Amino acid sequence: MRMQKISPCLWFADEAQEAVDFYTGIFKNSRVIGMTRYSEVGFEMHRRPAGSVMSIVFELEGQTFTALNGGPLFKFTEAVSLQIYCKTQGEIDHYWNALTAGGDSAAQQCGWLKDKYGLSWQVVPELLADMINHNDPKITDRVMAAMMEMKKLDLDMLQQAIDGGD
């Protein structure tokens, strides 16, 4: 197995398998690469039953991740999020609807969401950087104002902001 130089490790209390199944069910180009299980060695430290899932290495759209069942010691925060760049509104809708299922609806703003495991995601159009870095500051302001009113980003509404609201 060839490993990426840098790969995120996602710490779960004990729902790594459930989360990996959830994520690989959302992304078409995904797979589980491998799984390790806890043994009796180190039980006094990890307190996990021998044979239970310790970690799962998986891939989403070519990006390798590790999901770790590390116990309830650490939680996800919005300080780190995973970005999904989408070409179409259909893609935005797919990822948004799938990832928000059972998630924190209060944490949804400007394309950001928090899934049911507490992991933050940004579902954004590929063109967003161009839209908010437009050479006309009035257009940039209109796009930013429109985006600030959205939870799930809407390509048509962002385009209307570029066009001057027409």
Q: What is the pTM of this model?
A: 0.91
How confident is the model over 7-24, as pLDDT tens digits?
Answer: 999 999 999 999 999 999
**Separation between Cα atoms, residue 69 and residue 117, nearest integer Å:** 12
CATH class belonging to 81-162 = alpha beta
Cβ-contact 61, 30 below 8 angstroms? yes
- pLDDT average, residue stretch 135-144: 93
Q: What is the pLDDT of residue 107?
A: 84
What one-letter code names the amino acid at 155? L
- For the chain, the structural domain boundaries read 9-69, 81-162
How confident is the model over 56-104, as pLDDT tens digits?
Answer: 999 999 999 999 999 999 999 999 999 999 999 999 999 999 999 999 8
Topology (CATH) of 9-69: 3.30.720
**Separation between Cα atoms, residue 100 and residue 103, nearest integer Å:** 5
Mean pLDDT of the chain: 93
- pLDDT average, residue stretch 39-65: 91
